[in-house]
Amino acid sequence: MSLPSEPTDACRLCGLPVRGRRDGFCCLGCSHVFEILKEMIGTPDPGAMRVHPFFLRMQAQGIIPAEEGDVLWAEVDPAPGQPVPQGEISDERVLKVIGMWCPSCSWVIERSLLKHSGVVGAAASFASDRVKITYLPRLVGPSDLVKVIRDLGYEVRETEGEQGREKALRRELIRLGVAVFLTVNVMMISLGLYQGFLTELSDAGVRMMGVPIFLMSTAVVFYGGFPVLERALKAAGAGGFVMETLIGLGALSAYGLSVYQLFRGSLHMYFDTASMLITLILLGKYLEARIRHRATRGVEEIYDLLPGKARVETAAGERYVSTEGVEAGTVVRAVGQEQIPVDGVVLSGEGRVDESRLTGESWSRTKGVGDTVLGGSLLESGELRVRVTGVGSSSAIGRMISLMEEALVQKNPAERLTDRIMAIFGPVVILVSLATGVVLNQSGHPLEEAMVRMITVLVIACPCALGIAIPLARVAAMGRARREGILVVNGDALEAASRLTVLVIDKTGTATRGKYQLTLSEDIGEHDEPDLIGLVAAMEAGSDHPVARAIRGLASPAKVEAKGAVVAEELPGLGIKGTYEGEDVLVGNEALLTSEGIELEPSWKEAASEGAGSGETVVFVSKGREVIGRMRFGDTLRWDMPEAVGALQANGIEVHLISGDTEQATAHVAGSLGVDRYEGNVLPEEKVAWVGRLQREGHRVGMVGDGANDAAALAVADVGFATGDALTVTKHASDITILSFSGARLLAAMELSAVTSRTVITNLFLALVYNLIALPVALAGLVNPVIAVTAMLLSSLTVVGNSARIARQARKDPAEDELRQKR
């Protein structure tokens, strides 16, 4: 094996730019790693190579010969499109595809990718212009995947910013401008040619006018229509039919008939029809791209937030590096009006940070030492030194993008049905069109009339509007949701939420703010309050419950550190059970103590009941089976939750409140919310049973919770709404995550679901009505090809425009005004 002697554009090992080196690697390190990996091939333990990412890249790029690779890979290669075999290493890649003009394009791309060896999964979304590919790196590399798509006539980019989108649109605008200019001239000359039907024209006169329109229409059809013809041809090569297939056949048929008639000296030429078909389709798709971009801008914007470079502190000073090369623990610096490049914790400095494009909050926050910052947020003023905790796919924005990409490529049963219809509709329309022409010609109609009728059927029956009716509305809704601080993880939930009849709300951290404050602390015996709190904080160190977070915030770090020998286990809905200094320790509610056979004194029971009756949470602490203290924590109701609950009930949704807290505390909050159905002392598994019982009764149930001890209930509900922040978006099994939760945002999610459902129904109705009317009208000869293509484009633009209405100005969150007034 020899190293490449000629320079390449990218490093043969890691893929970074070579930067002028002639050995094929970007740096000396990659060259050394390459030699080490070569030596590893001959070692007695080749299994180590199996999981090495550098080796996988070399295998995929053919740097390691197949005969050497066969020693390491004993598995049988899976058939294209089959699931990943157990123990096999797979990778995923999401690519931006430029040039998909209709949903059939996504079907052709999927089919072509799945035919390629090493590709085990492909899901393309026309609405979001993205394709997600699951592949085996040992068999196929990213460049091979890109080539498959480009060979179909599409452009491929990893990501695309606003500048790239505008550049692509400008290219299409130039093509459209040339086509319009030539088509106008073709139409003007054709009007003169048509005078020959009223006054006699000589053969020379016909040729004098026919040749110029022949030349101009040739430019329109083959230059202006190049994208149409190219995709139609490549789709046919892949065994598929797309919108361009029908338009291309129609334009070429009109053009071919016209050329034939020109050489015959006939006046029956249709160069104007061929030119108008191409020009109208270019105009329609340009307008559609503009409108669709507005509809999907909320989804696209999140990719623009991906940081590119970070200012890293090193021993030699500061230097800029790609964020892909930044590791956890590195220290980076950000100054005013810069984008914070990574997730991290502030080590020093202070500044105002705007996280609105991540969380939907329109106000900035002051961040200082110990605070968490998110990559992609804007540092409005000040200066921060940040220790990196997450970057790339492990950062908050990386996880949000991953979840959104998953949701974008999901297809519900209705979408899969329309995909199947689209797959067979093209061939059926072509057969119907041919049959129409043959029948007319055989029944005595002139060849010209039969051909025109055939072309009309071809172009009017394109089912584009049907194909985009559902996915475009969904993408527009997901984009608007993201801008309002609502992350949609399951696309089906967007519509399902509008059909809910019951909404079950968890109390702590959802109906209430989950910001507990200690209102009372009592200790018995040798433990003073700081020592008691330190012990409890050590026991609660691994818990994510709001009470646990409040306790840890109160404890002295020295006291917590002194309890280092604590061993604890969290019991959801009850508290913490553990050991310290050889004795059992319990921290939790009265039910926990009772389950362990520990009885409270009557006076403490009475005091606990009094605290719970005022909405407070009471925590007891026992050590060695003796109660050594209790603490009472007060939580506050989210100020807009009563109004939100009232609005939900007014819309016919029954609201339930459940909690692992005491019955009295739950009843207090339920009374403040105006909720009649509530239950306290509910364990996590009982929350699941509560949801299941409602579903068996015929209700469609939504569950709203913070995921601390209701993750299972979120998963089994028809729609799960998780509350949280950008750092925990992947933590809980929810369908929709509401960042910076408020009652107003819960209402916004429900309202958006209703709007999405109405839009989908309207889109499907418009698309179906068009196709039911258009084909019979074309078969009857009531329209000509130009009117047919105009009608087809108007049907698509109607569906696109209707979907774009979803993406209009986001719902105003009244909580923002309230917070501004408090600040």
Beta strands in 195-248 (DSSP E): none
Our measurement of the distance from residue 775's CA atom to the centroid of its chain's CA atoms, rounded to an integer in Å, reads: 36
The string of DSSP letters for 335-380 reads ETTEE--SEEEEEEEEEEEE-HHHH---S-EEE-TT-EE-TT-EEE
Give the DSSP H or E segment for 606. helix 602-613
Distances (CA, A) of 381 to 214, 337, 351, 821: 64, 6, 5, 21
Place of tokens 């991290």: 344
Q: Which residues contact 762 (CB under 8 A, 6 or more apart)?
A: 802
Q: Decide: helix, strand or coil at residue 239.
A: coil
The C-alpha R_g of the chain, in whole angstroms, comes to: 33
* Interatomic CA distance for residues 381 and 361, integer angstroms: 18
Q: Is 144 a catalytic residue?
A: no
Contact assessment for residue 223 and residue 178, using Cβ atoms and an 8 Å cutoff = yes
* Interatomic CA distance for residues 451 and 268, integer angstroms: 11
Token pair of 238 as six digits: 């892949």
Among candidates 122, 128, 119, which has minimal Cα distance to 108? Answer: 122
Catalytic choice (23, 419, 506, 710): 506
Amino acid at 200: E
Give the DSSP H or E segment for 520. strand 517-523
Parallel, antiparallel, or unpaired: how do β-strands 575-580 and 317-322 relate? Answer: unpaired
Token pair of 338 as six digits: 């810069």
Beta strands in 602-651 (DSSP E): 617-623, 626-634
Place of tokens 């068009």: 770
* Interatomic CA distance for residues 363 and 12, integer angstroms: 46
Which residues make beta-bridge pairs with 480?
none
* Interatomic CA distance for residues 481 and 495, integer angstroms: 13
Contact assessment for residue 749 and residue 491, using Cβ atoms and an 8 Å cutoff = no
Among candidates 209, 184, 199, 189, which has minimal Cα distance to 265? Answer: 209
Q: Which residues contact 178 (CB under 8 A, 6 or more apart)?
A: 219, 223, 224
Give the DSSP H or E segment for 475. helix 471-483
Q: Which residues contact 817 (CB under 8 A, 6 or more apart)?
A: none
Q: Decide: helix, strand or coil at residue 42.
A: coil
* Interatomic CA distance for residues 128 and 400, integer angstroms: 16
Catalytic residue positions?
A: 506
